[in-house]
Amino acid sequence: MAEGTRRLDRYRIQTFNHIAESGVREFDATNFEVGPTTSDPHAILCRSHRLAASDVPDTLLAIGRAGAGVNNIPVSHCSERGIVVFNTPGANANSVKELVAAALFLSCRDVVGAVQWVRGLSRALKPADLDLLVEAQKRQFAGHELSGRTLGVVGLGAVGAVVARVALDLRMTVLGFDPELAEETARRLSRRVQRVNSLAALFARSDFISLHIPLNRHTFELIGDDLFSICKPGMTLLNFARAEIVEHAAVLRALDSNRVQRYFTDFPHPDFISRESVLATPHLGASTMEATENCAVMAARQLSAFLRKGTITNSVNFPAVSLEAKSGYRIAVANLNEPGMLGALLAVLANRGINVNEMINKSRENLAYNLLDLDVEPDAALLAEIRKVKQVIGVRYVSSPLEGL
């Protein structure tokens, strides 16, 4: 979090990629300057644009990712500087769910092959001859039904949960694995989803497996030879999460040995293009008008609330923090989550005779975040003194009573 020695009258938002106009409209022109050419931004709003640490300016307070994954953002670097990184979990869930449903159907019924076969027929065929040919050849495209089959869902968050619900509606048996499932999400999950305690158990029992987990150091190439060696023979793997979750060479070996019958991925690779056992789409998971708008609006609202009120919702590196405003001048402080910091912060205020009307302190792993509503307006000297507290990595003057905290 860049040090703010004064309250900002207007925030600068730099956009990357195409951000839906409905999202851009969330920033009113009075308080925000928004656009792709905006310089020295206080916040960045992007989709898949890859940001390097060197791309993060000193003025930056936050990054909003209009999507779920943040592997295109240098999150660790941002955390060190107190920059809050937001994503939009669930905003594209319906879009991804519908594509996964299509993948399930296409994986067990050779619709693609059948369409291509019909397109290859001669236009000179007479209707009677065409009918005879169709009846004679249609058996080569025979498939099987999803009903009664078992789907394993890896990751039961916003997308995984709705994928599980669709599969249940199709009368499939659904297994789920997610060791980090949030309590609130677990309550919304259908009781008919059978939770298993390991990936191995899920792979051994599933006819189809759908991946819905984020990419991080724990999930990089998580799906590899060990799991393919114990999977149910002839299994179909669906990957609409991130390409790197599946070990590339391992899935090729599994396809060659027929341990995996079909791989449906949203992440094309040159080695997959010529393989009939691979169906690949060009990263279409969130490529619907509705998902694009939902993600843009959600990210914009989160950035706006953070910049104007200090509120944090759906951050991947800082805790969720919200404080109802009643009175006072609000400051926000980001710090390392270490003993003694809060006492040192309050001591700075006490030594200046400043009263705290309301405050909230939340932590997440090694980072913490505080909102404090003071009874006097903070000046540059006060903010600089707070910044000198050992564990503090950012402080800013957020808003005043005149702005309707």
DSSP code string of 310-339: --B-SBSSS--B-----SSEEEEEEEE--T
Share of the chain above pLDDT 70, in %: 97
149 and 172 Cβ atoms separated by less than 8 Å: yes
Crossing angle of the two packed helices 93-108 and 158-169, in degrees rounded to 10: 40
> Which pLDDT score is estimated for 327?
83
pTM: 0.83
Count of CB atoms situated within 10 Å of the CB of 3? 17
> Which pLDDT score is estimated for 172?
98
* Stretches in the chain below the pLDDT threshold 70: 1-7, 402-405
Q: What's the distance, CA 46 to chain centroid? A: 13
> Which pLDDT score is estimated for 183?
76
> Which pLDDT score is estimated for 186?
79
pLDDT tens sequence across 344-394: 999 999 999 999 999 999 999 999 999 999 999 999 999 999 999 999 999
Q: Using CA atoms, how far apart are residues 296 and 291, in angstroms rounded to an integer?
A: 8
| Surface-to-core class of residue 340, CB atoms within 10 Å of its CB (0-12 exposed, 13-18 middle, 19+ buried) | exposed
